[in-house]
Structure 1
Amino acid sequence: MTLLISNIPCWLIPVLVGVISAILGYFLGRLLGGGEKLTETTANVDVYKNRISKLEADLEACKANKKSTFTGGNSSIATPEVSSLATAPTGVAFDKAAAKAAFGKNIKQDDLTVVEGIGPKIKELFHNHEVTTWAGLADCSIEKCQEVLKSGGKRFEIHKPGTWPEQAKLAASGQWQKLKEWQDNLDGGK
């Protein structure tokens, strides 16, 4: 037995130990997963929990509205109440041509991404909080905007919504040229 061990070169044992350790480390790392993925998954879970609780509240409100809509055994339907998601009356109809003339691209009515600093993900956060129109965003306080951003997690808290309600007010009132000129001077919505 000692003859067999003495024939192995002395450098081969550390190399074998290193290779075996590397393989074990690789498989343990794959098995236990990375910490960054876990944090991202936890943030996504929180967003989905918020969505679920909001949807459950909407469902309960809908059920309550459905019960109050029907009168006794009679199946006549009462006048439905105006949804909070409807466009608030601004006295100005949406002029797609004027918006395109100012921005040089097609603008969809009540597209919150027209506001400098709001992208598709932030727009989704506002939609989750029932802010789906320019008029709705114009009625939001800056504190409400910050709450909406906080609901999305750490990566959204860095945004500064200080001008968003005012920008939305200009969009809702159809003041496209004034909005475009203002946005040209803004830096990411600030």
Structure 2
Amino acid sequence: MNFESINIWCWIIPILVGVLCAVFGYLLGKGGNTAIDHSSELNLLKDQNAKLEADLAACNKKMAAKSTAVVSSEIAFNKSAAKVAFGKNIKQDDLKVVEGIGPKIEGLFHNYDIKTWKTLSETSVSKCQQVLDSGGDRYKVHDPASWPMQAKMCYEGKWKKLHKWQVEHKRGKL
């Protein structure tokens, strides 16, 4: 091979490859721009979305109607029945009625926005333990396992049943 002729081939081959790649790239790119009509699928999805939004609106309306019914079905506090069962005046939503809860533990529950018998009755035992743990080591001796159950009896006005349970289970242990 002649080294003088190599110099020209070093220019021609890359230019030729570049031109061929450009032509093929243009042809491939031009052929890939065919538009696919998705309008039927889009219309189907819009119809499904409209149906789901209507179902959601109906569910929200139904839940709103139920929540007003629940508010009206709140259990009234019977102060005299509580006094008959315990022999002392009981204040509504006084958490100290629950065996094992004193003024300081009641304060801990108030810090966690648990201020009524109903909310305490709906609180899990693990959450009650978390509230106790927030008070430090001096509250480790308390066992909150029965507190939601006792609070539920208070909320439902089952004063005789609560008093009987507390007498049978000294210190609120199950």
TM, length-normalised to structure 1? 0.52
Task: Determine if contact 1:91/1:173 at 8 Å carries over to the other structure.
Answer: no
SS at match of 1:162: helix
Measured after TM superposition, the shift of residue 187 of structure 1 is: 2.1
Q: 1:37-78: CA deviations, max 9, x gaps? A: xxxxxxxxxxxxxxxxxxxxxxxxxxxxxxxxxxxxxxxxxx
CA RMSD, Structure 1 to Structure 2 (Å)? 1.3
The counterpart of 2:107, out of the listed 124, 128, 152, is 124
For the pair 1:107 / 2:90, whether they are aligned, the reply is: yes
For the pair 1:169 / 2:152, whether they are aligned, the reply is: yes
Task: Determine if contact 1:163/1:189 at 8 Å carries over to the other structure.
Answer: yes
User: Distance in 2 between the 1:133 and 1:150 partners?
Assistant: 20
Partner of 1:64: none
The counterpart of 1:158, out of the listed 131, 137, 141, is 141
User: Distance in 2 between the 1:97 and 1:187 partners?
Assistant: 24
User: Distance in 2 between the 1:188 and 1:152 partners?
Assistant: 20
User: Distance in 1 between the 2:160 and 2:95 partners?
Assistant: 17
The aligned length equals 103
The residue identity in structure 1 corresponding to 2:97 is V
The residue identity in structure 1 corresponding to 2:77 is F
- TM-aligned CA distance change 1:181 to 1:127, over 3 Å: same
Task: Determine if contact 1:134/1:169 at 8 Å carries over to the other structure.
Answer: yes
User: Distance in 1 between the 2:131 and 2:73 partners?
Assistant: 24
User: Distance in 1 between the 2:132 and 2:104 partners?
Assistant: 10
TM, length-normalised to structure 2? 0.57
Measured after TM superposition, the shift of residue 91 of structure 1 is: 3.1
Counterparts of 1:141-152 in structure 2, within 5 Å, are 141-152=124-135
User: Distance in 2 between the 1:161 and 1:137 partners?
Assistant: 11
Measured after TM superposition, the shift of residue 189 of structure 1 is: 1.5
Structure 1, unpaired ranges of 5+: 1-87
User: Distance in 2 between the 1:189 and 1:96 partners?
Assistant: 22
Larger radius of gyration: 2
The counterpart of 1:180, out of the listed 158, 163, 169, is 163
Measured after TM superposition, the shift of residue 182 of structure 1 is: 0.3
